[in-house]
Amino acid sequence: MQTRSFSSIDLALGEIDKAIKTLSTPARSSRAVPGVPDGQILPPAQRAESGRLMRVNHAGEVAAQALYQGQAFTSRDPTIAAAMRHAAAEEVDHLAWCETRLRELRCRPSLLNPLWYAGSFAIGALAGALGRRGGLGFVAETERQVESHLRGHVERLGDSDGRSRAILEQMTRDETQHGAQATSLGGKELPYPVAAAMRLASRFMTHGSYWL
């Protein structure tokens, strides 16, 4: 059977299609949303704060999709490209959970999500040119930064919003496992400019998404 060859235009259109679906189509999870909705009515101030924090986390999952797709797009190693697409698929659960919680809190997603997607895709594409060990190191660094970010949000939520806390705690466990797997497969520490760019983009996204 002859394998179809895709042109650069075909591949670019495919990435645009993925971006549109991520930004406009509700995600579907393969696992149930963590935590049990108990009908708790949060005070207005707490609901607003929980909504802003979950909006930040939703934006982070949008960015994660772009990071992995960008790396898969430029990677010269078919194994790494496939691993990045698999990682993006696993992160869909987190995207769907955050979307669900945002609806429950009557909070909208970030208006800046298209910007976060575009910027993260560019960073992922840069990492994709680093080769196999650099690609795995990129996964490990991404998960390490996300894990730290999630733990901070769990602390900020405290015990006042059990549903959001349960979601973030499960996401933290998943990210820890993903990062450890990438490191065990040979991921190396990223060059300082790439890791710094990731941290800077993360801070910019966190502050922007909290308010917008």
Q: Give the tens place of pLDDT for each residue, 170-184.
A: 988 888 877 777 776
From the CB of residue 37, how many other CB atoms can be counted at a distance below 10 Å? 11
Long-range contacts of 124-127 (CB under 8 A, 24+ apart): 124/66, 124/67, 124/68, 124/69, 124/70, 124/71, 124/72, 124/73, 124/74, 124/84, 125/70, 125/71, 125/73, 125/74, 126/70, 126/74, 126/194, 126/197, 127/67, 127/70, 127/71, 127/190, 127/194
pLDDT of residue 2: 47
Structural domains of the chain, with CATH: 42-211 (1.20.1260.10)
pLDDT of residue 95: 92
Do you know the residue count of the chain?
212
| Backbone torsions φ then ψ of 196, nearest 5 degrees | -65, -40
pLDDT of residue 201: 77
**What mean pLDDT do residues 119-125 have?**
84
Q: How confident is the model at residue 138 (pLDDT cuts 50, 70, 90)?
A: confident
- Flag whether pLDDT at 37 surpasses 60: yes
pLDDT of residue 91: 80
- Flag whether pLDDT at 13 surpasses 80: no
- Flag whether pLDDT at 24 surpasses 90: no
- Flag whether pLDDT at 3 surpasses 60: no
pLDDT of residue 161: 87
DSSP code of 105?
T
Residue 81 to residue 174: CA distance in whole angstroms: 20
pLDDT of residue 23: 79
Residue 90 contacts residue 174 (beta carbons within 8 Å) = yes
Cα 201 vs. chain centroid, distance in angstroms?
A: 13
Residue 48 to residue 148: CA distance in whole angstroms: 23
pLDDT of residue 1: 46
Per-residue pLDDT of 56-114, as tens digits, reads 999 988 988 888 888 878 877 777 777 777 777 778 899 999 999 999 999 999 999 99
